[in-house]
Amino acid sequence: MATLYRANSWRFKDNPLHNAFYDFTSNPWMQAGQWVFKTEELMKENPDKYLFLEGTAHDNPTLSPEYISNMEENTEPLVFRVEVLNERLRKLPNCYYPSFDTERHCTSALFDYDQNADGIWLPTFRDYDPNKALEVSLDFNNYICCGIICQEVPGKLKILDNVYVKQAKEDKTLAETLAIAIHDAYPDQVKRHIIVYGDASASSKSAGSKIPMFNQVAAELRRLGWKVYMRVLKANPEHKDRFALIERILAEGSSMLPRVRINQNTCKALIISMQNSPVLAEYKKDKSSEGKTSIQQEYATHLSDCFDYIVYYKYSSESQKNKAKGSSMRFLGGG
């Protein structure tokens, strides 16, 4: 948009605002938006030319007295802090994903337009292929069940979407509700094949059912017309092994490993989850954000775990070795 800016030195020569350039925004949610703070640095170098101001809703005298308290009551805590109190989200210096870079790994120019059956032009995502099987990686908790939706092409793992549910549908468990949400998100899917990855501990039973959570998801998806393939390891990998593989993939230093590309338009929660996942000693992920009422749980580490599961299970040398042998012993479930 900056290139469209035009100056008219004849018509506006006496206007004190002539040649001024303004941008107004709330604080960015992702690292790619950090460019808005460039003016702050430029003001330090040349305060006569540049001005950078920050404010909160408290600085707006036209708002009603109840506005801020109403927003705090009716918006989720992190949204309130960023959009109302104008707090900055920063990438952690001790991030579990040190090579994760939204400029490299996230894509946004993915829109196409096509007509539906009624002749209405609607936006579609060109990274999604309805004729190709979906791959989902899931994480289960009592208060949130979530997953990421992927498709693989040669040399690339495309993360199309993140899905999460916090409230079970009537007569359904939370895991079954997640399966329904995945189904509802892809009404135009032609090849109704879905490959399910996830946390080995989710093979245990949930509080609301005697059936393991993965089995609940698989049964619900099959009821909805999907052919389900389970790819869940019997045991989770060592912390160091998982960290090392994910770091090699995100660093993109080897042609033997795939490139990961995340749809920035649909995977906001996943991106924030990855950016705000700290690392502890011995390459363990700090998961203290999970269950905290002050943090929206879709922004806690749950979705980043979904990312870890599918990347490790698809691309670790151990998994590849078992695939080469034709063994299915490490996997739970069947086709």
CATH number, domain 102-332: 3.30.420.280
List the pLDDT tens digit at each of the 335 positions of the chain: 566 666 667 777 777 777 777 778 877 765 556 677 778 788 878 888 888 888 888 888 898 888 988 888 877 666 777 788 887 766 667 899 999 998 899 987 665 555 556 666 555 557 899 999 999 999 999 889 999 999 999 999 999 999 999 999 999 999 999 999 999 999 999 999 999 999 777 656 665 678 889 999 999 999 999 999 999 877 778 899 999 999 999 999 888 999 999 998 899 999 999 998 999 988 999 999 998 887 889 999 999 999 999 999 999 875 555 555 543 323 333 44
How buried is residue 113: exposed, middle or buried, by Cβ count under 10 Å (0-12/13-18/19+)?
exposed
Rounded-to-integer distance, Cα 29 and Cα 119, Å:
36
User: Are residues 285 and 301 in contact, defined by beta-carbon separation less than 8 angstroms?
Assistant: yes
User: Are residues 254 and 248 in contact, defined by beta-carbon separation less than 8 angstroms?
Assistant: yes
Domain edges within the chain: 24-90, 102-332
Rounded-to-integer distance, Cα 107 and Cα 160, Å:
10
Rounded-to-integer distance, Cα 302 and Cα 140, Å:
8
Q: How far is CA 43 from CA 21, 35, 40, 213, 224, in A?
A: 14, 14, 5, 54, 58
